[in-house]
Amino acid sequence: MLPVLVVHGGAGHIPEERAERSTAGVCSAARAGYAVFQRGGSSMDAVVEAVTQLENNPSFNAGCGSVLNVKGEVEMDAIVMEGKTLASGAVCAVRNIANPVQLARLIMDKTSHACLTAEGANHFARLMGVPEVTQESLITEYSRMRWKKNLTPDANPVECQMGKMGTVGAVAVDSEGNVACATSTGGILNKMEGRVGDTPCIGCGGYADNQSGAVSTTGHGEAIMKVTLARHILFHMEQGQSAEAASDLGLAYMKSRVGGLGGVVTVDPQGNWAARFSSKQMSWAAVQKDTLHYGLYTGEHVTKSIAEPQ
């Protein structure tokens, strides 16, 4: 049933006091992305809109609200990919940009390259007239508090890491059967300067192919890269598995092979979709026809009419 859009707000352990905000954020981003279809937009337009909304929401680890690197700075990664032509665009370790997902799309649309990093990405942004924002405007009190906590000698960065994964992503298929994905992140807490995770790497943080479907991933980047999680899931779909079964197979493989936890949203070109995770939680939401679907805990799947107020 087309069109459909599915978003995630990151896999991990979401503290109880942040759960409501996280669910509200993914639901409103899914609604905003889906509204793009109603205005005649493509699946690429829809995923970029949904991820832009999540980047602008300080509750998530992307754009404003990104986690800080070891120096207390924001460096962000993002990717977009569309399934008709396999065109993609990505940015790595970019600073001072409010919406890295939009810059990734400009790289796909306006250059012959698939990925720009750091200063080169910022230089391209200037050429495209994308305004630079201050580091301060991307940093929340919460991310600064967690960064500081992790600098203390008794810090447990691994445990703290799970407190807020919060990478954001979306997949969609439009009424023409074109699939697309977008993923954006601040990376992992107190990462080394210049660390690039799975998100901007094609086949890891996302992949889209009209011949199988589209996937956006979240979780421990170094583990996701080892198993090229997004492409791995689409491989299973090419072998005849459903979006849900293929997502579970990919996540189970990552867990057993490299001990990594994470989550994914997946669609196929017919509009079948899945939101699956091996972490404790993942906030997710989907809109298809007149229905909004969402959840946060394993097995939780709430539905309501899209006409109901937010």
Footprint of ligand ASN on this chain (CB under 6 A)?
10, 61, 165-167, 185, 187-188, 197-199, 218-221, 224
Least distance in angstroms from the C-beta of 2 to ligand ASN: 28
Least distance in angstroms from the C-beta of 208 to ligand ASN: 17
Is residue 117 a known part of a binding site? no
Residue 25 DSSP symbol? H
Judged by beta carbon, residue 213 or residue 219, the one nearer ligand ASN is 219
What residue is closest to ligand ASN based on CB? Answer: 221
Judged by beta carbon, residue 197 or residue 269, the one nearer ligand ASN is 197
The 3-state DSSP composition of the chain as helix, strand, coil percent (nearest 5) reads 35, 25, 40
Is residue 236 a known part of a binding site? no
Closest of 300, 287, 303, 302 to residue 6, by C-alpha: 287
Give the active site residue among 23, 117, 134, 167: 167
Quick one: tokens of 148? 């500081």
* DSSP code string of 215-232: EEEEE-HHHHHHHTHHHH
Cα separation, 57 vs 17, in Å, equals 16
Judged by beta carbon, residue 44 or residue 224, the one nearer ligand ASN is 224
Judged by beta carbon, residue 61 or residue 122, the one nearer ligand ASN is 61
Least distance in angstroms from the C-beta of 167 to ligand ASN: 3
Closest of 240, 206, 251 to residue 86, by C-alpha: 206
Least distance in angstroms from the C-beta of 44 to ligand ASN: 21
Is residue 12 a known part of a binding site? no
167 is catalytic: yes
Buried/exposed code over 156-168 (b: 16+ C-beta within 10 A; e: otherwise): eeeebbbbbbbbb
Cα separation, 233 vs 25, in Å, equals 26
Is residue 267 a known part of a binding site? no
Q: Which amino acids are annotated as binding site for substrate, given as ranges? A: 195-198, 218-221
Q: What are the catalytic residues? A: 167
